[in-house]
Amino acid sequence: MPETPIDRYARFRQLHQAGCFVIPNPWDVGSARLLEQLGFAALATTSSGFAWSLGLPDNHVSLSTALAHLKAVADAVRIPVNADFERGFAVEPQRVKTNVAAATDTGVCGLSIEDSTGDPASPLFDFSLAVERVHAAREAIAESGRDILLTGRSEGFIVGRPDLRETIRRLTAYAQAGADCLYAPGLRSSADIAAVVTALAPHPVNVLVGAPFTTVEALRALGVRRISVGGALARSAWAGFLRAAREIATHGTFTAFGDAIPFAEIDGAFPVE
């Protein structure tokens, strides 16, 4: 019997109940399909990786473009997809609710809401407003009738406010407001990660790995449930592209192409359906 969307929602929730899994971040349909072929159990979109593919900086993609992207990725694979829904594409909770409601129609099995403002002078939303925004997202999901998993993100460690106590306070409040999974990108020390995992238990915690500072096994031992890589795979792809292009522009040589994946291998990864 073919899998239904309900089966996919349930499978995504099950991944968060025990153990530790990596949820890598594709930036387009092709990268999503390749990650699925590698055997990953779920995927998460990356706002930065997608924005760069459009020639834009992170957080500068329109809501309509983001929604179309979420649907395209979710439709392209058979595994659950979590949406990097940035700041909800709004400030006010009611508008966040409206936008999250639209996202529930894209086929994603999860989505995240951040508490960063984009303003360097005041980089985090006021505590009460941040909590209200998560609650609004939860209300939209509940009203959709879809069992979509909500992740609450506190961005202090990546926007210049690396306060562990405040991060835990915010994540705890987001859990109380209806977030199923909690996420504080930028945590690196084992002590900080363990403190967050302990404080939020039994809620699953997501850790971002965008540099070689840890391993899956090390994070599993700390009790981390989910590991994402943000824009790191996209940055790795751009690194190869720029290395080859700069060699051509600077030296007029093509030696970097020696590391390129063979045409037949990559072309064969995308069979006609």
Q: What is the CATH number of the domain that holds 129?
A: 3.20.20.60
Establish if 239 belongs to a structural domain. no
Q: Is the pLDDT of residue 3 over 80?
A: no
Name the pTM for this structure. Answer: 0.96
| Token pair listed for 174 | 């987001």
Establish if 243 belongs to a structural domain. no
pLDDT at 273: 73
Q: Is the pLDDT of residue 239 over 90?
A: yes
Rounded-to-integer distance, Cα 219 and Cα 221, Å: 5
Number of domains in the chain: 1
DSSP state of 181: E
pLDDT at 1: 44
Rounded-to-integer distance, Cα 82 and Cα 173, Å: 21
Of the candidates 38, 11, 18, 20, the one whose C-alpha atom is nearest the C-alpha of residue 206 is 20
| Token pair listed for 19 | 């153990």
Strand segments (E) across 91-216:
110-113, 149-153, 181-183, 205-208
Half-sphere exposure of 24 (CA within 13 A, CB side): 20
Q: What is the mean pLDDT of residues 138-143?
A: 98
Q: What is the mean pLDDT of residues 11-36?
A: 98
- How far the first Cα of the chain sits from its last, in Å, is 20
Answer whether 161's CB lies under 8 Å from 124's CB.
Answer: yes
Establish if 140 belongs to a structural domain. yes
pLDDT digits (tens, 9 = 90+) for 244-266: 999 999 999 999 999 999 999 99
Establish if 250 belongs to a structural domain. no
Q: What percent of the chain has pLDDT over 90?
A: 97
Establish if 246 belongs to a structural domain. no
Band of the pLDDT at 4, cuts 50, 70, 90? low
pLDDT digits (tens, 9 = 90+) for 151-184: 999 999 999 999 999 999 999 999 999 999 999 9
pLDDT at 272: 84
Answer whether 271's CB lies under 8 Å from 264's CB.
Answer: no
Range of the domain at 68: 5-233
Sheet holding 149-153, edge to edge: 21-22, 226-228, 205-208, 181-183, 149-153, 110-113, 81-84, 43-44
Establish if 265 belongs to a structural domain. no
DSSP state of 2: P
